[in-house]
Chain A
């Protein structure tokens, strides 16, 4: 009797663990470590940061739940309002410029020109250089006295006056943007170049046979071919730029007079006051902006798939 029950149980388990289910279970087991890792390293800190932003936590004290108080405080400061606008400006303007430069160079280097391998390598150098070195070099170049840019302008007679590039409201943001674009365009360049090389040559030949001119070939063949890559690159680059700290910190520390203040630098100032709750609130306040970017880019990608 007992043997019969045991045999029936084993048969039931066997039926439940049929081939497909066993395979699925095995697959889940395989991905489980990665899922746990992601939960531990990404989800937990992310959710914990959101929690901390609702507390008055300082170093050495876990603090208490304060609701929206941190957000109300930071939203009322002029510096925070500057940070919102400046972050949007930097993300949008650098994105457009990096797209233009990256696309232009990718189209150029995609042609059969002599030494294009060397050009490709050289164009990747700004991205390969450590950000710290790159932006400190830019800082030196921007120096009013002895800086390379002023030397070139004054000695060539292009502009006779010394310009305090980082120290004036009118030039500080364009200077930060220029340095950021220089450092970031290679990522766009290499991504778009890879997309260009995946477009079948037959499409261009067919377009030529149909009498399409260069612009029409670009608009009807090249652009649709690289659009998915451009969208993904835009998404990634925007998120990186919005979260980037070193370009502003090393060039201007958010000044002069908050002219280049952005969210990550503001959050760093919050950390300096050792008020962890407020610093977390600044970081969390960025989330809606980034979420809009992600949703926008994702919907575009889905539309493109359809």
Chain B
């Protein structure tokens, strides 16, 4: 043994050995984390949420199938139209034929998790968050809505919500270079560009989900659906009155396109794509449609968050979750699959194809959110600056009932369609909302 050898042997026997042991342990830990805790087997049926992007749907199916093949698990992926999720899941719950895992939205998850339909997935939520730099604050706050003492029942994977789409070509002609910062600015800009057949304010006032953007506007003006405890209706207020005044002023100035009080779910899409509306509030699907159907309109469109009001800045987000029914025959494999669907390689590609904002801090650096796509940038902004659903109100079952009964859009209709005075419209909405809160 020469000096060198003895030196190496000496180092190996002390520091090098410790370093080697440490590095080996870390590698082993990473490898162990990547592998399931114990061998997986059996079958996993997954109900994926069918979205607007074919590429995203295919990617999800392929990824789940590949994961199954790699882990010796038989997989069956059924893509469900998101408009039919409630019906399908309701029937499956009643007939005890739920899949092993599925995608669903916040409302349905909230309702069903209270009925004990889902299994607890806090471990997956924590592990995924820890591995990806944590969850965005708005995502964590929204996820907290469905956490109970017994834990969490869903893991979020996509943020949705309304962005303001605006016709930059029309607005810049009138000297408006910047996105409206307040609802009043938005109304002023909308009035300025209104000249039939173009109308400024393409915000739905009808009995459809899009009509509920009026809740956010009302809250921005200081109006509230209920009190701080979320137990009693509090619609009749000076804040709501201010909102109704803003609405009526814009209506009387002819800024709303005709028909907004009876628009269906595609009303704002059609109005914007046909060039009849200069502003709409939309999830971004209109922008995607414009990209292929009307590239000129796509180029003329800019995106911004919902403006702030005189009292609050309300930008409600909604989220899609992955959950595991309590009836799953293979919950461990389902958990492993869900965890796998957060690997950066898949998510990076998925977000490029899908119309979702990111949920994890680490996702911010993905190609989809590098600023080259204005819709994705808008969705990132929504995730970063968005507010939890219902905020500043309390998101609970009664609030969800108010939402699906379109109490606020109906109040707006009373003012602009029936010509009711503000007090009468607020009284009816207040009574209607209180009757709903009294049920819970």
Interface of A toward B, CB cutoff 8 Å: 58-61, 73, 76-79, 143-146, 162, 164, 166-169, 172, 250-259, 269, 272-275
Interface flags for B87-121 (1: CB within 8 Å of A; 0: not) read 00110011000000000000010011001110000
- Cβ–Cβ contact B93 & A162, under 8 A: no
The number of A-B residue pairs with CB atoms under 8 Å apart is 96
Check B262–A145 contact: CB distance below 8 A: no
When C-beta atoms are compared, the residue in chain B nearest to A258 turns out to be B410
User: Is there an interface contact between A59 and B207, defined as CB atoms closer than 8 Å?
Assistant: no
Is B219 positioned at the interface, with any CB of A under 8 Å from its CB?
no
19 additional contacts (CB under 8 A) given A73-B435, A167-B417, A269-B405: A58-B115, A60-B90, A60-B111, A60-B115, A145-B276, A167-B259, A167-B262, A169-B417, A251-B262, A253-B208, A254-B207, A255-B206, A255-B413, A255-B417, A256-B206, A257-B417, A273-B404, A274-B108, A275-B401
Inter-subunit contact A61/B115 (CB<8 Å) = yes
- Chain A residues whose C-beta falls within 8 Å of the C-beta of B108 in the assembled complex: 274
**B258–A60 contact, CB under 8 A?**
no
Interface size on B, residues (CB 8 A): 39
Closest 4 pairs between A and B when the two form their complex, measured CB to CB: A60-B115, A144-B258, A256-B261, A164-B258
Whether the Cβ atoms of A274 and B86 lie closer than 8 Å is yes
Q: Report the Cα distance A260→B89, complex, angstroms.
A: 30
Chain B 178-207: CB-based contact to A (< 8 A → 1; otherwise 0): 000000000000000000110000000011
Binding site for A on B (CB under 8 A): 86, 89-90, 93-94, 108, 111-112, 115-117, 196-197, 206-208, 257-262, 264, 274, 276, 400-401, 404-406, 410, 413-414, 417-418, 428, 432, 435, 439
Take A73-B439, A253-B208, A253-B264 as given contacts and tell me if A273 and B196 are in contact as well, using a CB distance cutoff of 8 Å.
no
Most buried by B among A77, A79, A168, A274: A274
Min C-beta distance of A45 to chain B, whole Å? 13
Distance between Cα atoms of A145 and B267 in the complex (Å) = 13
Given contact pairs A58-B111, A274-B111, A172 touches B262 in the complex (Cβ within 8 A)? yes
Q: Are B410 and A77 in contact (CB under 8 A)?
A: no
Is the Cβ of B262 less than 8 Å from the Cβ of A256? Answer: yes
User: How far is the CB of A104 from the nearest CB of chain B, in Å?
Assistant: 31
Give bound CA distance, A76 to B260, whole Å. 28
Instruction: Determine if B417 and A145 form an interchain contact, defined as CB atoms under 8 angstroms apart.
Output: no
Residue contact A166 to B111, C-beta cutoff 8 Å: no
Cβ contact within 8 Å between B405 and A144 = no
By a CB distance below 8 angstroms, the chain B residues around A169 are 417-418
